[in-house]
Copies of this chain bind each other. A is one copy, B any other.
Amino acid sequence: MKEGANEHHGHGGLDSIRERLRVFAAERQWEQFHTPKNLASALVVEAAELLEPFQWLNHGTKTELGADMYMAVKHEMADVLSYLVMLADKLEIDLVSATHEKITLNALKYPVDKVKGDARKYSDY
């Protein structure tokens, strides 16, 4: 790519991440560890690290987090996305399509008139 700072935000945001992660793992000979099962494990580990800064806070707004935790959160979110992209790559899943498909299914599962303002129905309890 040659377009400089904007390259990451252009066409194929997730594609450019996938490409860099493929090179990253290949250079380190880490593909051997990247079974789908292991990537799913690593993903939940990162998701929990993302939750950690929030665990004793009230709501976890940007202000409540403060600069250090905000940065930590940003980087943990990046780790989650990285493992998600790597797992999708291994399993040949188009993340963006799958997500649009799931949102459509959720719209059927949670009809507006039945769940409006109600967290309990939201959670199947």
Q: Write the residues of chain A forming the contact surface with B, with a CB cutoff of 8 angstroms.
A: 1, 8-14, 16-17, 20-21, 24, 27-30, 32-33, 35-38, 40-45, 47-62, 65-66, 68-70, 72-75, 77-82, 84-85, 87-88, 91-103, 105-107, 110, 112, 115-117, 119-120, 122-123, 125
Q: When the two chains form their complex, are residues B24 and A123 in contact, meaning their CB atoms are under 8 A apart?
A: no
Q: What would be 23 A-B contacts, judged by CB atoms less than 8 Å apart?
A: A17-B103, A20-B100, A20-B103, A28-B110, A28-B117, A28-B122, A35-B60, A36-B73, A38-B56, A43-B80, A44-B44, A44-B51, A47-B47, A47-B80, A56-B119, A70-B91, A75-B98, A75-B101, A75-B102, A77-B88, A77-B98, A81-B95, A81-B98
B33 in contact with A119 (CB, 8 Å): yes
Total copies of the chain = 4
CA distance A50 to B39 in the complex (A): 10
